[in-house]
Amino acid sequence: MRRFLSSVKCAAIGIAMAVRKERNMRIHLVAASAVVLLALWLGLKPVEWAVLLALCGLVIGLELVNTAVERVVDLVSPDRHPLAKAAKDAAAGGVLAAAAFAAAVGMLLLGPPLWDKLRELFG
């Protein structure tokens, strides 16, 4: 049990570091918070919640992996190198792809009920 708790503590430290030092992590957290608030307001179904939360978790998780890749590349290759750039760009591309697909799914799930709610409010 101690090893598990130690692992959880290390993971929490890693997440906190990324939130403090990575602007994109903060952007993803703000976006995820906005999605959650909007979904609460719209009263989404459990399956829709599951999809939205899974995608938010995926994007945030990939941002953490991207941060790790950037740190390791900087450690092993402090000078500019084309392979270091390629590794960093690929990791960032993974986050971008996940975020783009998450945004598309978010529009599909949130768009119609939001439109209905706005039409109801503003006639």
CA distance 111 to 115: 6
Burial of 87 (0-12, 13-18, 19+ CB in 10 A): middle
Which position among 22, 48, 63, 70 bears the catalytic label? 63
Is 22 labeled as catalytic in the residue annotation?
no
Residues annotated catalytic, as ranges: 63
